[in-house]
A and B are shown apart, each in its own frame.
Chain A
């Protein structure tokens, strides 16, 4: 069994300040973890992925996430928010190495960026 909890349903930041989106997971298998971003009326775009390699993962658009097994966390950060970062973000867990292809999605965190 696996699940994802995104700890904040909404995050508001000022442009140029850091962004932190928190995600905790549980998984019976060694997990693969992903962050997706969804802009309004658009599809989901893969930001970054962790698949049992380096624990600090760098993604697109300046985002990065750190896998912490002891804390079962996979928080997403960006040093300096841009207006274009306003979107909904989903943390996703997949049971890497199993035959179960069902991704477990977090409920999403809506990010607003103030000018």
Chain B
């Protein structure tokens, strides 16, 4: 089915480990985004991508790495997970930057 999917949906990892969150969309949207949602902070933009091989920092990029070798995929890597990165992560995509469709989210817990 067409849409945007995220995997895994739930992840528990230990401090210091590397973890990658996957995002895949079937709409061929040019733009893709990663957000984190935390109580008291709402949704904050981590990274975004305007096209394959083009990425840029958002509001809270520290500790995260992204890549986009294919239009449909936009993985987010936490190089060395910290407890402060415990959050719900949402991927989004859109035909234009200002219109975004969100995935179901990944709930990440760092112990």
The bracket for how many chain A residues form the interface is 20 to 34
Interface size on B, residues (CB 8 A): 20
Please classify the interface of chain A as helix (H, G, I), strand (E, B), loop, or mixed, using the class held by over half of its residues.
loop
Please classify the interface of chain B as helix (H, G, I), strand (E, B), loop, or mixed, using the class held by over half of its residues.
strand
Candidates A34, A41, A94, A108; contact of B42 at CB < 8 Å: A108
Contact of A36 with B42 in the complex, beta carbons under 8 Å: no
Contact of A101 with B98 in the complex, beta carbons under 8 Å: yes
B residues near A95, Cβ cutoff 8 Å: 98
Cα separation A41 to B90 with both chains bound (whole Å): 12
Contact of B42 with A101 in the complex, beta carbons under 8 Å: no
Known: A44-B90, A101-B48, A102-B58. A107 touches B102 (CB 8 A): no
B residues near A49, Cβ cutoff 8 Å: 99
Chain A positions near chain B (C-beta within 8 angstroms): 32, 34, 36, 41-46, 49, 51, 90, 94-96, 99-103, 105, 107-108
